[in-house]
Amino acid sequence: MMARFFSGKPRLVFFLSYTLLFILAVQAAAFVLPFFLSLLIAVLMKPLYGCLRTSFRFRSSFAATTLTLLVFGVIFAVIGIILYLAVSQALSLLEDYRGVIVDLFRSPELFDTLKEHIFSGDLLNTVTSVATTLFHAVPLGITFVIVTFALTVFFLHHLDGLRDDLLCRAGEYRNVLGSVMHIAGDTLRRLIRSYLILYAITFVEAVFIFYLTGVEYPIAFAFVTAVADILPILGPGTVYVPLAVIFILQKNYIGGVILLIYFLLTVIIRQILEPRIVSDQVKVHPLVVLSAIYFSIVSMNIWVLFYVVSIFIAYRVLNTARVFENDSNKRNL
């Protein structure tokens, strides 16, 4: 009985330690985000980096810089496409309702309201607040991109050396740490693969429904929908719902209703598929993923989803590497 009690302590320490580290990481997210993103990109791009080094005989620094430029180019191309489509649709909508907008701005009530806000200082305060926010956000964003880019090149260039140095310093834990790193890398690739499958399903479904309802540029909008699905705060509803509203305003009630219904079906299908696909890839029980999604929706906090899923994945990695078993054996000795 005593042996069973003590055998559970390393797991208790792990859960408490991981929870504390996760809370600290969330609180310091703005500071550690460039380091985390650059390290994640470097780990994911490591096989392609190795291919450039061996197959094309690229120098290490040149291969790291070229690959990082490619990754950042793709990211900014996706952002540019999203912004272009958003602005184009906004201008198209304004053009369709230009007469209504002109009549609205000619309204005496609107003029009196604007005059009241200008003289009261509310409009000036709002403009000043927005200008101040942009003044801080623009240089911060530029600095964030530069730092993340430089760190990605550094990690790609020195990832093997950092790994070997860490294993060398691990001493007697070298084999266990190496096993943990190998299993963690494999699990990360499986997790990325599972979500790529989900986003591919979202893209195919969106192409079909946009063609069916007669949305202009269906493939482009389906691509934007898949990208929005990647971002936890947005989701496919940021594309489906505005398009449905535009259809309804244009008196295309059937198309608008179809888009809204299909959006609800997409949410339901996603709740069914995500636990199954993710659990099959990372070997975590579907109820864990489903519970994580439910907790995240109830709390309206995406960090809850990350915490529940990541702690079970981390536990599985350590358990597969027999970290807890090794601790138990050492205590018995």
DSSP symbols for 180-210: HHHHHHHHHHHHHHHHHHHHHHHHHHHHHHH
The whole-number pLDDT of residue 333 equals: 40
Mean pLDDT of the region 3-15: 64
CA distance 24 to 27: 5
Give DSSP secondary structure letters for 246-296: HHHHTT-HHHHHHHHHHHHHHHHHHHHHHHHHHHHHHT--HHHHHHHHHHH
3-state class (DSSP) for residue 83: helix
Q: What does the alpha-carbon distance between residue 304 and residue 316 come to, in Å, rounded to a whole number?
A: 18
Least trusted range by pLDDT, from 68-72, 121-125, 151-155: 121-125
pLDDT, average across residues 231-260? 81
Q: What angle do CA 23, 28, 29 make, to 5 degrees?
A: 95
pLDDT value of position 73: 92
| pLDDT tens for each residue of 25-83 | 888 887 888 998 898 888 888 888 888 888 888 888 888 899 999 989 988 887 787 77
pLDDT at 1 over 70: no
Check whether 243 has a pLDDT greater than 90: no
Quick one: DSSP state of residue 128? H
CA atoms of 7 and 3, how far apart (whole Å): 6
Angle, helices 218-230 vs 237-249, to 10°: value is 140
pLDDT for residue 147: 92
Residues 6+ positions from 273 with CB-CB distance below 8 Å: 198, 201
According to the per-residue pLDDT averaged within each range, which of 123-127, 137-141, 150-154 is highest?
Answer: 150-154
Q: Is the dihedral of CA 16, 19, 23, 25 positive or negative?
A: positive
Contact 229, 236 (CB under 8 A): yes
In terms of residues, how long is the chain?
333
> How much of the chain, in percent, has pLDDT values that exceed 90?
5
What pLDDT does residue 280 have? 66
Contacts of 177 (CB under 8 A, 6+ apart): 166, 167, 170
Average pLDDT over residues 111-133: 62
For residue 209, with 0-12 CB atoms within 10 Å meaning exposed, 13-18 middle and 19 or more buried, which class applies?
A: buried
Residues 6+ apart with CB under 8 A from 20: none
| Residues sharing a CB contact under 8 Å with residue 189, sequence separation 6 or more, in sequence order | 44
Q: Mean pLDDT lowest for which of 31-40, 216-225, 236-245?
A: 216-225
For residue 273, the tally of other CB atoms under 10 A from its CB is 15
User: Which segment of 98-102, 127-131, 234-238 scores lowest on mean pLDDT?
Assistant: 98-102
| 330 backbone dihedrals φ, ψ, rounded to 5° | -65, -35
- Reading the block at residue 262, the tokens are 């299909």
Is the pLDDT reported for residue 110 higher than 60? Answer: no
pLDDT confidence of residue 179: 80
**Mean local confidence (pLDDT), 283-292:** 73
Q: What's the pLDDT band for 89 if we cut at 50, 70, 90?
A: low
- Say whether 104 sits in a helix, a strand or coil: helix
Question: What is the pLDDT at residue 122?
Answer: 58
| Residue 125 or residue 120, greater confidence | 125
CA distance 310 to 68: 26
Residues 279, 313: Cα–Cα separation, whole Å = 10
Q: What is the pTM of this model?
A: 0.67
Q: In the block, which residue shows the tokens 């259809």?
A: 247
Q: Is the pLDDT of residue 296 over 50?
A: yes
Answer whether 194's CB lies under 8 Å from 282's CB.
yes
Spatial separation of the C-alpha atoms in residues 174 and 140, rounded to whole Å: 40
Average pLDDT, the chain: 77
Band of residue 332 on the pLDDT scale cut at 50, 70, 90: very low
Residue 330 has what pLDDT?
Answer: 46
Pairwise CA distance, residues 246 & 274, whole Å: 30
SS3 27: helix
pLDDT digits (tens, 9 = 90+) for 168-211: 877 777 787 788 877 777 777 777 778 788 888 888 888 888 88
Taking residues 293-315, what's their average pLDDT? 81
